Amino acid sequence: MSLFAPPIGFVADTRPLILASSSPRRRELLDRYGYAFTVVEPDPTAECGICSRETPPELVARLAYQKAANVIDKLDRGLVLGCDTVAECVGIVLGKPENREHAREMLRRLRGREHSVYSGLCLWDKESANRIVRVDVSKLWMDAIGDSDLEAYLDTDQWVGKAGAFGFQDGPDWIHLRAGSPTNVVGLPMELLADSLTRM
């Protein structure tokens, strides 16, 4: 079974969601799990504002909230899902790389080390004003790959738009999940989403 497939017997919540994200990986996960949803992308300003005093869980929780809040203001009704994901290694937050050199720097920092991936999730119902913000974490290990392997990976452009400059779902054999949800690493913790919808 795929790491990213729903568990046997899983039944998706039937309430339609409004995904406040431009991420194709989040759309793919919602599709795969059978959720009904539409996409309303948040404004770029909703994703700004890293505060040096924030911990990674605080950062992703705030950004998920900001994305959902930005989209909720555009709607008359609906259940909005906002999410944000970062990697963290030795206390340094790693978001999406700006360019190849930035991606190389991130991967060099990660290799031969354990790191964490955090996702903040915000569900917000427009009509009732009920909202919930939660955070999930997964632990990964990156092998100490050599520079030639690192450059070969950079050549694939699979690092583009991905927190920590790698796509776990792309299957690199030098990244290993040690604890937590694999879908969290992709950018949307599906177990946490299902539980949060039940709580809502």
Interatomic CA distance for residues 135 and 91, integer angstroms: 17
Residue 108 has pLDDT above 70, yes or no: yes
More confident residue, 17 or 46: 17
At 83 the pLDDT is: 97
Q: What is the mean pLDDT of the chain?
A: 91
Q: Could you give the 3-state DSSP secondary structure of residue 98?
A: coil
Could you please state the CATH topology (level 3) that the domain comprising 17-199 is classified under: Maf protein (3.90.950)
pLDDT tens string 144-175: 999 999 999 999 998 998 888 887 878 788 99
Residue extents of the structural domains in the chain: 17-199
Q: Could you give the 3-state DSSP secondary structure of residue 62?
A: helix
Mean pLDDT of 118-123: 97
- On whether the CB atoms of residues 122 and 189 are closer than 8 A, the answer is no
Q: What are the residue numbers of the active site?
A: 84
Q: Which pLDDT band, with edges at 50, 70 and 90, does 4 fall under?
A: confident
Report CA-CA distances (Å) from 171 to 2, 3, 4, 134, 166.
Answer: 11, 10, 12, 27, 10
At 1 the pLDDT is: 39
